[in-house]
Structure 1
Amino acid sequence: MDIQAFLTDFRHLSTIGATANNGVDRQAATAEDQQSRHWFAARAEGLGYPVKVDGIGNMFALLEWTPGAPFVLIGSHLDSQPLAGRFDGAYGVLAALHAAKTLQEEIAADLSAGGAAPQFNLAVVNWFNEEGSRFAPSIMGSSVFAGLMDQEQMLAVKDHQGTTVREALDSIGFLGGDERPEVAGYAEIHIEQGRILERGGITLGAVDRSWYTQKLDIEVLGEQSHTGATAMADRHDALTAAAKIILMVEAVTRDYEEEALVSSIGQMFVEPNSPIVVARRVRLVADLRSDSKEIVQGARSTLLEKIANLATEHNIRINVADFDIRPHRHYPEDGLVLAEKVAAELGISVRRIRTMAGHDSTALNTMAPTVMMFIPSVDGVSHCEREFTEDKDMVAGLQALTEVARHMIQGVLEA
């Protein structure tokens, strides 16, 4: 395993879409995403792996030892949030690419010595639009792949400027049509995006389940009027009501034990967004997450009641729609045992951990045996230019992914 080559590739990839404060901005199907995709394809093809692109823009670099056999997929995503960190997603894709290179070299040597080919083939994957910042919902490419979302519906999704996913993918040359590989299993390595591993001094997290999550699409409809000429009593200010909703979404977490529920408003659009016009329309997206389905549903009910009362108080209309509801996903016990076994063999510390964030693995876990692993995030910071993980932890995660993939292509986690 060429560790220095891995670190060099990671640092080079971090220059694509680089921001002034050492982060990246590579939102899905933008010019920066296109550049990272071309780099990935060139790097994979340079290693001898043909690259296929499916109808939702997922990229697969294929290593085939056993013609006709299914593939173990390893990877993550190259797209990012705006002004994001350079580790989220990209680390997992590069780790997968270098794990594949190591396994390719070792298996070639085994075959030359008369050994048998692996039971399964291997594919390195870059999933489309995991982040969901430009096009909602998130985890789009892997969810379409897993049959959880309809491809045509997702291709019709528009960003806030009216561009569809189909148009955006076509504009960067990645609206593919290749056949999708048959899947035998999936493995992903990712930064934790939290502080549990760092606080515990632990190198590897074996993810056993994901949190229950759901979003609320909130549309506040007031009346446009002059900020200077309209009497306060005559206003129907959508933005004032929206500001109160933002505080409600934050305050509802205090109805439960500390950290039992996390919630936020991460996106807001104001119309007409003029300094001398009272807002007529505000669109908000609220995100509710907990390890308890009942807590999320309870918080949702509380918010719906308070928002209805607010609409009456302000004499405006507020529409609330549920979307992007994600149930708990439990990862297979055999995969957890495998990750723990690999950690023991490598001499690194490991613990089981839950993921509060969504990942492509949560979609793949519904269709094939899946292993999800975390490495530490410094200060737990993510979706931020300050996001950081130390080289030693990235290398340990690369080694763990390589060994997990080695076992999986030999059929250790057959469904």
Structure 2
Amino acid sequence: MPLTPNIPRLLDELSHLATISAHPAPAVTRVLFSEQDLAARAWLLGLAENAGLTHRADPAGNLFITLEGTDPTLPAVATGSHTDAIPNAGAYDGVVGVLGGLEALRTIAASGEKPRRSIELIMFTAEEPTRFGIGCLGSRLMAGTLTPDEARQLRDPEGRSLEQLRPAQYQGNLEQVSLITAHCSLGTYSHFLELHIEQGPHLDASGTDIGLVEKIAAPAAFRLTFTGTGGHAGAVLMPGRHDAFLAAAETALAVEKAALDSPSDDTVGTTGVIEVKPGAINSIPCHAMMEIDFRDTDLTARAAAISGIRQAAESTCHRRGVTLDWQQINSDPPAICSQEILAVAEKHAVELGYSHVRMISRAYHDSLFMARLCPTAMLFIPCLNGWSHRPDEYASPEAIAKGTTLLTQTLLTLASP
């Protein structure tokens, strides 16, 4: 018989967590180490203690809640996601994976089943880039793709560092961060499985219960600064102009063209930031800064497209007499998910009578970095119209119940070899 999570309890907890927000309902805002983020963390740990589960934290603020197995010396099976939320977001992104994971641990504990491996729920610090401009801060540190030195250099919009913002319970020397040397050395975890809303329209549009994620696309991000020559909009004739914004505009079109011309179906390119100076209607732009997000599941295709964009930008700038500064913000490789985990999840989905489909995650998650540490996969549930990162984000009780039930069964199987 499949284990049955307490879905009414889970739904009540999802509703309560949505009220811990810097903005009124239905919006949800919980920025890293804000009053609301700290309150949510304390509340989550209270739930864990009430369930008799042990917990700990690392110096970056990642939280670990553990159901101990009969052989805790074995690498643990892990699940988890995040509870931080960008300003004016919704109630389900990340949260379903954290509270659904907690419900899975409580369900297994209450069932009398004795998994051999421990099962650990991870609440990752700062999956959202709101505070420091970099996503998946906690899982990057755990995987070692962001070093403690690099973490110490991060600043929020007010110029504050991670060490300055961390509350007392997370204080520690980031240089001796135990998440690399102890918690998350290779072999710490045997498997990692993240439950998440799809943040896309495919499952909802097709009426499919579960998405089994086979690949996670990864972004490369760049900041381009164009420096031209300013002047009066009426006094400088067109042949003599060195317009920084027009060079940036041509480059933005090159980003779109590179994505459209890519041989990979999963290539997407976005120019999401553009700043122009001096910003006056009667002044020729002397400065433009743009930021590009370019992602794919095919690293070769992504690299070729980015190379083409850079060549196009340099050619445009040469022709227009504008200088270009090209800076890489980050460049993460895509992840291929574990076929072993997916096979176990698919087997249970069939047993439970859930419709399912293999798919790609074009948004990236903490799973992208956990895949550096152990075999990793994701379970998607539908969200209404694919809407996410907005107050009307919605996952139905039925979708949450199915995702949590499948997560519970899969974790138990993985932890009981």
Question: TM-score band, normalised by the shorter chain?
Answer: 0.7 to 0.9
Alignment partner, residue 103 of structure 1: 108
Of 1, 6, 11 in structure 2, the residue corresponding to residue 2 of structure 1 is: 6
Change (3 A) 1:346 1:185: same
Are 2:369 and 1:363 equivalent residues in the alignment? yes
Alignment partner, residue 146 of structure 1: 143
Of 163, 166, 183 in structure 2, the residue corresponding to residue 180 of structure 1 is: 183
Are 2:62 and 1:58 equivalent residues in the alignment? yes
Alignment partner, residue 124 of structure 1: 121
| Percent of paired sites with the same residue | 27
- Of residues 15-24 and 225-234 in structure 1, the stretch that sits farther from structure 2 once superposed is 225-234
Of 247, 255, 258 in structure 2, the residue corresponding to residue 249 of structure 1 is: 255
TM-score of the aligned structures, taking structure 1 as reference length: 0.85
Are 2:386 and 1:386 equivalent residues in the alignment? no
- Cα distance in 1, alignment partners of residues 125 and 373 from structure 2: 18
Q: CA deviation at 1:18?
A: 5.7
Secondary structure of 2:315's counterpart equals helix
TM-score of the aligned structures, taking structure 2 as reference length: 0.85
Q: CA deviation at 1:11?
A: 0.9
Secondary structure of 2:226's counterpart equals strand
Alignment partner, residue 85 of structure 1: 90
Q: String of CA shifts for 1:153-185, please: whole Å, max 9, x gaps.
A: 1232223432222323x2585445665263232
Q: CA deviation at 1:320?
A: 1.3
Change (3 A) 1:28 1:285: farther
Of 305, 311, 322 in structure 2, the residue corresponding to residue 299 of structure 1 is: 305
Q: CA deviation at 1:314?
A: 4.2
Are 2:55 and 1:30 equivalent residues in the alignment? no
Alignment partner, residue 157 of structure 1: 154
- Of residues 393-402 and 68-77 in structure 1, the stretch that sits farther from structure 2 once superposed is 68-77
- Cα distance in 2, alignment partners of residues 154 and 282 from structure 1: 28
Q: CA deviation at 1:102?
A: 0.8
Aligned amino acid, residue 92 of structure 1: G
Is the Cα–Cα contact under 8 Å of residues 53 and 175 in structure 1 kept in the other structure? no
Query: How does 1:246-325 map onto structure 2 within 5 Å?
Result: 246-256=252-262, 260-268=266-274, 281-325=287-331
Q: String of CA shifts for 1:128-161, please: whole Å, max 9, x gaps.
A: 1222233243222112212233233123222343
Aligned amino acid, residue 42 of structure 1: G
Change (3 A) 1:294 1:180: closer
Aligned amino acid, residue 79 of structure 1: D
Alignment partner, residue 132 of structure 2: 135
Secondary structure of 1:216's counterpart equals strand
Aligned amino acid, residue 306 of structure 2: R
Aligned amino acid, residue 155 of structure 2: K
Structure 1: 5+ residue stretches without partners: 111-116
What is the Cα-based RMSD across aligned positions, in Å? Answer: 2.9
Query: How does 1:71-82 map onto structure 2 within 5 Å?
Result: 71-82=76-87
Q: CA deviation at 1:258?
A: 9.8
Count residues in correspondence: 401
Q: String of CA shifts for 1:248-270, please: whole Å, max 9, x gaps.
A: 43343333479642111234456
Secondary structure of 2:335's counterpart equals coil
- Of residues 93-102 and 32-41 in structure 1, the stretch that sits farther from structure 2 once superposed is 32-41
Q: CA deviation at 1:312?
A: 2.9
Alignment partner, residue 223 of structure 2: 217
Aligned amino acid, residue 61 of structure 1: I
Q: String of CA shifts for 1:377-410, please: whole Å, max 9, x gaps.
A: 2212223333222111011101111111111221
Secondary structure of 1:83's counterpart equals strand
Secondary structure of 2:205's counterpart equals helix
Secondary structure of 2:88's counterpart equals coil
- Of residues 393-402 and 195-204 in structure 1, the stretch that sits farther from structure 2 once superposed is 195-204
Are 2:407 and 1:401 equivalent residues in the alignment? yes
Change (3 A) 1:158 1:284: farther
Are 2:334 and 1:331 equivalent residues in the alignment? no
Q: String of CA shifts for 1:34-54, please: whole Å, max 9, x gaps.
A: 232222222222322233111
Change (3 A) 1:314 1:386: farther
Q: CA deviation at 1:271?
A: 6.2
- Cα distance in 1, alignment partners of residues 280 and 96 from structure 2: 41
Secondary structure of 2:145's counterpart equals coil
